[in-house]
Every structure is written in structure tokens, then in C-alpha cells.
Amino acid sequence: MLGRIFVTLYAVWLLPSWVAGADGRNARPTTLCFESGSRKIRADCYSPVGTRSHRAVIVLYGAGGMVFDGPSMKRVARALADAGDTVYLLHYYNRTGSIVALDSTMRAHFEEWLATLRDGIAWVHGREEKRPIGIYGYSLGGLLAIAAASNNPMVGAVTEQAGGIWGSDEKRVGKMPPVLMVHGIEDKRVPFEKFAKPLLHVLRKRGGHVETEFVASEGHVFSEAAMAKVRPKIAKFFRARLR
């Protein structure tokens, strides 16, 4: 569905993320935990420095987990914290003991990860004075974000990058909060025509607010130059849509 993920290819694709310096002026995140499915789930909490927290956002890695997606997800988290958000980088793989995921792993564990994310949303919602929660999800994380936000009043806005509708099942998309879709037109692993376009059609059919950032020259893994432009747009979207 998302294409077979080869560790060696992922390492090459994400090499710039490993060598690039960390964005943001925030201190190290605080390690927190909550429980889901009788397992402890880690969440790295990035807090704004020198400003009051205005919003709360959950960040979700893709199939590469923290091993390969981690550096990019940390940069997203720091950028959002710099914008005044309290950010929770959710280690949902803790539920299943996974490190990375192939197609077979995703088929086996998607529902467990979805349940973990829903528990995480409720946990963050309780910590954050019952204010609506934002979710940023990349790839597999984007699929989970869309599914978890559907008919969920605790979720106030979603940014999904290189995701879509799990199993192409439209019934997974009910009432949705505002959604920002970020996709590379040249994506060969989660093809634009197969995933982005159907999701956009369903979201518009449901009558919700949708914004798009479709980048012609990018694939599944955005270059750091592209992400440097995308991160402020994500922060701006949450600033406008998370009340």
C-alpha cells in the first residue's frame, strides 16, 4: 500500500535530516508516558521557551519510526514549539514493540496504533485544559491522524503529510476538523493520484475546511529545503485553526 520500505533506501533518503542542525531555540523535550493497551507509551513534550503555550499539537512519525523519521519529526516539533505550541511527539510503536514498519506490519498493527493515538489524544486533551488538540502526521502517521480525527471533538485541526485514507475506506472519514494536506506530486511510495486526490475529494464532500500544499518537485520524503518552507506553513495553519 505504501510501498515496501527498505532500510538502506530510507537511510539514503533521510541522510540530510541526520546531518542537518536542529532547528529552534527550545530546550530538550521532557519525556512523559501514558498507558494504552496495558503498555507504556512514550511522548516527548516540547514546550515553548519564553512564551505562554497557546496550542497543543501531537506529532506522529511514519513507517520509518524514530529510527529514520525521527530527525525530521523533531524539527517539526521544535518549529511548532517556537511558534508557541506545546508539542507531544508520540511513540505509538511502543504499543507493539515495533521499530520500523513494512506493509505487512502496518496491516497487522494499524488498529492497535489507532487505538493508541486515540488514547494519546484523550491524555493530551486532559493535560491541556480540555482545549482542542492539533495533530501533525507524516505518511503512516498521516493515515492515523485522519482516522483518529474523524468524528472526534477533541481534535481541532489536522496536518497530514504524504498520508491518505487507510484502506481507501471512505467510511473512515466522518466529520472532520480543518485539514491541511501536504503532498509531493512526485511521490512514488504514496502516489498523489491514488492517495492525495481521493482524500481531498472525500474531505470536500464532507464539507469541512481543507487547505493544500502540493509541491511539484518533491516526492515522499521532502528535501530539507522544502521542509524549511513547509514547517512555517504548518505552524501558521495551527495558529489560525486551533482556537
pLDDT at 53: 85
Residue 1: C-alpha distances to residues 47, 160, 166 (Å): 35, 17, 9
How many helices (H) and strands (E) the chain has is answered by 8, 8
pLDDT in tens, 83-107: 999 999 999 999 999 999 999 999 9
pLDDT at 52: 83
Beta strands across the sheet bearing 85-90? 30-36, 39-46, 85-90, 55-60, 133-138, 155-161, 179-184, 210-215
pLDDT at 27: 63
Residues 33, 36, 39, 41, CA torsion sign: negative
Topology, domain 29-241: Rossmann fold (3.40.50)
pLDDT at 133: 97
Positions in the chain whose pLDDT score sits under 50: 2-24
C-alpha cell at 88: 507531544
pLDDT at 231: 98
- Calpha distance 235→217 (Å, rounded): 22
Tell me the domain boundaries of the chain. 29-241
Q: Which residues, including other chains, have CB under 8 Å from residue 163's CB and lie 6 or more apart?
A: 137, 138, 139, 140, 141, 142, 143, 144, 145, 146, 190, 195, 199
pLDDT at 26: 53
pLDDT in tens, 147-171: 999 999 999 999 999 999 999 999 9
